Structure 1
Amino acid sequence: MEQITPQELKARLDRREAPMLLDVREDWETKLCRLPNAMHIPIEEI
């Protein structure tokens, strides 16, 4: 699994690349800020 910075993600999205984004934050964190097109699987489930 590749880890990238938020800045690199933005650059890839700006280039219209379609990375698979896995959001491993807690449920309460995703309620604060949702990441469009991300697959949410809490880290404790992995």
Structure 2
Amino acid sequence: MTADRLGELLRAAGAGATVKVTIEGRRVNGYRRGDVEAALKYLSGA
């Protein structure tokens, strides 16, 4: 799965847009953990 497709699916499931996050001292575009967890719950039917 491409990064673009994953982003499409996450946004469709309610994860919202990417934000600046810090990973190992680097600031990158990504999703907040809570947003991804909520999207996973939605996708699994919870």
TM-score normalised by length of structure 1: 0.31
Which structure shows the bigger proportion of residues in strand conformation?
Answer: 2
TM-score normalised by length of structure 2: 0.31
Which structure shows the bigger proportion of residues in helix conformation?
Answer: 2
